[in-house]
């Protein structure tokens, strides 16, 4: 859940002032400060003070979320886990695409986020979402049950990324996919603070050793990489 680069960028891009408050009042994490493989500084988690920004009216235009969901190639009956689901912006949209028979497992470590997510889903009458309260080291997903796991601007905030990736791998079905959306560190024009951006090289270096095979990176979104991995089969 990336934060703005500075206040002038924030205003010039028409992002609401609430996001600046989120930058100042992040949720405190107790895990690692730097990733042991890349040395990347792990960013703080956005707290409830930034929740409204997740559903800002400009988000579709700024991030082309409809295109991102299209690129997931969702099918009826799929089980999709949304890690760090927040207030449900992606969870609700994905849930509609996996009907009939599919569902979304919406995970977050903040109970209030999940409460807001359930309320948002009820308003739009989306019933095929199951909320899961996880921890900093375990998303609490069922084993061998998930077709696709998505993290939208979340991976860079994981304080225990290696442990989380291990649990996700156990939750994915054989051939299951992990998809990360991350703001492009390679692009200085993306108006997000540096610690909330990642490069393709960083993502691959951190994820592949945890039992995943890189498949592709889609670069057609305005600000974000969309990076696809598949669960690697045992040798």
Q: Report if residue 1 sits inside a domain.
A: no
Q: Is the pLDDT of residue 74 over 50?
A: yes
Q: Report if residue 127 sits inside a domain.
A: yes
Q: Is the pLDDT of residue 205 over 80?
A: yes
Number of domains in the chain: 1
Over residues 11-47, the pLDDT tens digits come to 333 343 333 333 333 444 456 799 999 999 999 998 8
DSSP structure string for 155-212: GGG-SSHHHHHHHHHHHEEEEEEEEEEEEETT-TTS-B-GGGEE-HHHHHHHHGGGTE
Here the CATH number for the domain that contains residue 14 is 3.40.50.150
CB of 176 within 8 A of CB of 146? yes
Over residues 98-143, the pLDDT tens digits come to 999 999 999 999 999 999 999 999 999 999 999 999 999 999 999 9
Q: Report if residue 101 sits inside a domain.
A: yes
CB of 46 within 8 A of CB of 26? yes
Q: Average pLDDT over the chain, rounded to whole? A: 89
Is 186 or 1 the better-scoring residue by pLDDT? Answer: 186
Note the pTM of the prediction, 2 decimals: 0.88
Q: Report if residue 63 sits inside a domain.
A: yes
Over residues 146-158, the pLDDT tens digits come to 999 999 999 999 9
Q: Is the pLDDT of residue 49 over 50?
A: yes
Strands 103-108 and 79-83: parallel
**Tokens for 16?**
């609401």
Neighbours of 8 (CB within 10 A): 10
**What angle in degrees, to the nearest 10, is found between the helix axes of 89-97 and 111-123?**
50
For the stretch 229-233, contacts whose Cβ atoms lie closer than 8 Å and that sit 24 or more positions apart, written own/partner, are: 229/177, 229/178, 229/179, 229/180, 230/175, 230/176, 230/177, 230/178, 231/169, 231/172, 231/173, 231/174, 231/175, 231/176, 231/177, 231/178, 233/174
Q: What is the mean pLDDT of residues 193-220?
A: 97
Q: Report if residue 2 sits inside a domain.
A: no
Q: Residue 191 sits in which domain range? A: 7-231
Q: Report if residue 177 sits inside a domain.
A: yes
pLDDT band at 51 (very low <50, low <70, confident <90, very high): confident
Q: Report if residue 197 sits inside a domain.
A: yes
Alpha-carbon dihedral of residues 13, 18, 23, 28, nearest 10 degrees? -150
Q: Report if residue 39 sits inside a domain.
A: yes
């Amino acid at each position: 859940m990336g934060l703005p680069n500075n206040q002038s960028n924030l205003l010039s891009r028409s992002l609401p002032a609430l996001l600046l408050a989120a930058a100042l009042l992040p949720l405190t994490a107790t895990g690692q400060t730097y990733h042991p493989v890349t040395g990347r500084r792990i960013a703080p988690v956005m707290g409830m003070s930034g929740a409204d920004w997740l559903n800002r009216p400009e988000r579709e235009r700024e991030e082309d979320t409809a295109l991102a969901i299209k690129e997931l190639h969702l099918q009826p009956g799929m089980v999709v886990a949304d890690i760090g689901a927040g207030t449900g912006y992606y969870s609700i949209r994905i849930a509609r695409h996996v009907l009939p028979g599919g569902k979304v497992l919406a995970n977050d470590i903040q109970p209030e986020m999940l409460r807001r997510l359930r309320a948002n889903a009820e308003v739009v009458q989306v019933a095929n979402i199951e909320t899961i309260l996880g921890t900093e080291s375990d998303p609490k997903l069922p084993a061998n049950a998930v077709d696709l796991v998505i993290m939208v601007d979340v991976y860079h905030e994981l304080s225990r990324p290696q442990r989380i990736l291990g649990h996700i791998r156990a939750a994915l079905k054989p051939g299951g996919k992990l998809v990360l959306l991350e703001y492009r560190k390679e692009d200085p024009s993306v108006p997000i603070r540096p610690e909330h951006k990642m490069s393709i090289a960083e993502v691959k270096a951190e994820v592949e050793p945890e039992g995943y095979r890189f498949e592709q990176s889609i670069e057609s979104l305005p600000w974000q990489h969309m990076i696809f991995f598949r669960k690697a089969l045992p040798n």
